[in-house]
Chains A and B, each alone.
Chain A
Amino acid sequence: MGAGAIAVSPSRRPPWLLITLALLTSLVMAVPIGYLVYYALSMTDDVEPLWSGPMRIRWWNTLLLMAAVTTTVAGLGIVASWLTVRTNLWGRRLLAVLLVCPLAVPPYVTAYSLLGLGGDDGLLVRLLGADSSLLRFWFVDAQTGRFHVPRLGGYLGSWLALSAYNFPYVYLPLRAAWHAIDASQEEAASSLGRSRAAVAVWVVGPQLLPALLAGMLLVALHVMADFGVVSLMRYETLSTTLYARYNSFDTGNAARLALVMISFALLLLMGEWLLLKRLRLDRAGVGTARIARRTDLGIWQFPALFTCCLVVVMGVILPVVTTGYWMSTLSDPTIWTSIRKALWGSVVASLPAAVGASILAIPIALLSVRYPGRLTAIFERAPLVGYSVPALALGLSFIMLCLAPWMPELIFETFYQSLPLLVLAYILHFLAEAVGPIRSSLRLTSPRLEEAAWSLGASPWGAVFRVTLPIMRHGILVAAAFVFLSCMKELPLTILLAPVGMETLARNAWDHAENAEFARAAPYALITLCASAGFVGLLLFERRHES
């Protein structure tokens, strides 16, 4: 009897405690969203048209940005992954790491740095001088003779910032897909008389496609849900409209917009699941792949290097340099009190969220690995729903629930505009990040371990505390770190749910950047950037650790 067949024997019922905990988590996830849907569908007064009038432009803006960013990162991702895996590109090992680094820069920091670059008082003018011939050559209006350096903004700025940030989400799965392709397949195709182009289209292409599409869907989801970048860039999309409606106390129309965004997100998520199902099939049976011979780039080294460096410059170097520069111009000593306060605010909200998310992730991970089944599949997907529901919509759903007319006074008083509610929203939004590492730490170990403990006389609970939890310890710590760092840089949820007067890093960075106070925004941006970099460092370390 194969080992796998027994590991999932359906005769073992999952413990009720795990089920209860996971069920509770799913319910807490479902109730606010469910109420939001109900509220949005049942409202009848002052209904703003969703498709016509000014909304049409916002739809157009959102879809245009999604399409532009997705195709940009897809094109760049294919080229860059091929260059770093299958060619003799100079410095490909270093580039392979650098190309992941844009993940470490929160997109609103990239947007902030792009905004701080241009403008008559921007970084370019300050560094090169207002009389620089280079600037004058480009930016003097030929008719009026007036010197004006425009600020990157709107569609162009949003496109650049979001493309730079989202690039690794396509690059990473593509690189993995390239590595997974057994070179002997290509050799087999060539030996069967297919040309190089035919091999690329018929052998390589289909194997890259699932990874590419999965990455593109994730990027589309990010772009649709983004608030930080488009709000700073003053580019009107669905999410900025939602925020504007909420700010003008038009919660009804905000809720309807949130419903549209949630449906959109779930549609994308469903596409992702369908793809991942295929992806798993594709990977089945791949043994140790043979490394392909690297293509000699020859004279193409230079354009290739330029392309890769462009991504790194836009995604990493520019934000770091700009933020660093604005930081150095900061001379107001009183800001340090504010920084301390914001840092404290961020930590106070992020730490409990990290602890809570890791604890709630344990039953979900245990159920999904040790007791796979229909019911546990639902529990497993609940965190993904929380993760993919746009943060603005999620935050709004919590606010709506607190404001519900039937909500007891006590709960409203305790939770509305309170730290616990912010922490809860963080937990539900980032639970998926916590489940991942805990699940993989469980997967690495044999389900026989608990059985071995039982057969040695340990009771079921004894086995959990003496064997299962110690084995998961590493995964739990990593999960907590992931969630902590994610919360530190999270913007939309913080803006919506942070208690009045509470300062956090992300919120302050965004506030100051909104008001074009680039120097004042710099320290907050820099600290969130560090938190984010820690996240990516951990991610890269964990990947290496696992392989």
Chain B
Amino acid sequence: MTACPLQIRQLHKRFVRDAAWVVEDVSFDLAEGELLTLVGPSGCGKTTILRLIAGFERIDAGEIRFGEDLLAAAPQQPVHIPPHRRNIGVVFQDYALFPHLSVLSNVMFGMRGRRRSRRDRALDLLAMLGLRDLARRQPHTLSGGQQQRVALARTLAAAPRVVLLDEPFSNLDASLRETARRDVCQLLADQGVAAILVTHDREEALSLGRRVAVMHRGRLVQIGPPEEVYSQPVNAFVARFLGAAIRFQVRAAGTIADGPFGRLLLRRPVQGVTDVVLRPEQVTFVSPQDSDVTGLIVRREFRGPVQTVTVRIGQQTFPIVSDSRTAPALGETVGIQVSGDVLPFEESP
């Protein structure tokens, strides 16, 4: 990584004294022009991190730095630069457009300079987003997608060092969401501004982020490129949160383990009984003769292009996603093959 403009170190935050941390020991860097997605279940503290970086909340411990500038530090020699002096842009979940100002005035709000030049730059920016015709409109007359683009334009117009986006797509229709995601990422890339996008949607997190940070109960559990986080989760929570996962017990001896799915290859050596996680797409159905492991199909749920097939192996049942066209029939006995290695866990989350 080249430069690390935004540095977060050992961030701690709680809202009630002596209560559990809402954000606990979170550290990460944001590279120049990078888009980082912060993902986790609701209540995991991801929005709080955003609000701490923006300066809406004070940190209890840790440090936030941008390049040479110290933005916040605690508890020794506490520093808290107020939000309006941080030059960090925020796009809110509900967009927070100023209802008493026109679209143009909203975009001009955070700009500096002479009125004429602000106006011209705002109009340019609106034109770039295809919103030129809406400049005179009031925010409440716009559709959700338009409001969102105006909110982004307003944030970018203030030329922020970093943009923080708090669930920016969650208030949009599913049909609009795809294009909105594409447009927003394109625009952020064009402007070359680094951004942190908070979401609870795992597909959004994996598809948009250059890096993905997974949060759980106030802690940053794993951070890395999407492919890595998906295929090499550090624990069962990350594995299950980022995609469908089958979890079961095996008896391991080094990198070899035996369990309901037969003999499996472990990613790292373990001894004794351990939990492993398997992605459903690693499982394929073959004819019973071609495999040591066989199972009985006890249930099928049609889901369009794929089907969830529940297979019983011995006493245990496992849901497995299968292509609709080739999915085995109910009551059929199938052979089961597992491709690739599986991830063992020492601790239970």
Contact = CB atoms under 8 A, between A and B. Distances in A.
A455 B156 CA distance: 11
A11 B86 CA distance: 20
A463 B98 CA distance: 11
B90 A457 contact: no
Interface string B71-104: 0000000000011111111101110101111000
Contacts of B110: 455-458
A409 B85 CA distance: 52
Given A6-B47, A9-B15, A456-B110, A446 B96 contact: yes
B57 A9 contact: yes
Best-buried of B45, B51, B54, B56 by chain A (most CB within 10 Å): B56
B254 interface: no
Interface residues of B, number: 40
Contact of B83 (A3, A451, A473): A451
Contacts of A1: 22, 42-48
Contact of A2 (B43, B57, B86, B90): B43
B48 A446 contact: no
Interface in B273-289: none
Contact of B57 (A11, A445, A458): A11
Nearest to A462: B84
Interface string A7-18: 001111000000
B164 to A, nearest CB: 8
A445 B139 CA distance: 13
B158 A456 contact: yes
B16 A454 contact: no
A284 to B, nearest CB: 20
Given A2-B42, A10-B15, A446-B94, A454 B83 contact: yes
Dominant secondary structure of chain A at its interface with chain B? helix
Contacts of A457: 84-85, 87, 110, 112, 158
Contacts of B87: 457
Contacts of B22: 1
B338 to A, nearest CB: 38
B56 A454 contact: yes
A210 B45 CA distance: 39
Contacts of A2: 42-43
A458 B90 contact: no
Contacts of A453: 84, 98, 109
A455 B83 contact: yes
30 contacts: A1-B22, A2-B42, A3-B93, A3-B94, A6-B47, A6-B48, A9-B15, A445-B99, A446-B92, A448-B96, A449-B98, A451-B56, A451-B90, A452-B92, A453-B84, A453-B98, A453-B109, A454-B55, A454-B84, A455-B55, A455-B84, A455-B86, A455-B89, A456-B89, A456-B109, A460-B82, A463-B84, A467-B98, A470-B100, A471-B99
Q: Which 6 A-B pairs have the closest CB atoms?
A: A456-B110, A448-B96, A454-B83, A452-B96, A455-B90, A1-B47
Given A1-B46, A467-B98, A471-B100, 19 more contacts: A2-B42, A6-B51, A448-B92, A451-B54, A451-B83, A451-B96, A452-B92, A452-B154, A453-B109, A454-B55, A455-B54, A455-B55, A455-B110, A455-B158, A457-B85, A457-B87, A457-B112, A463-B84, A473-B100
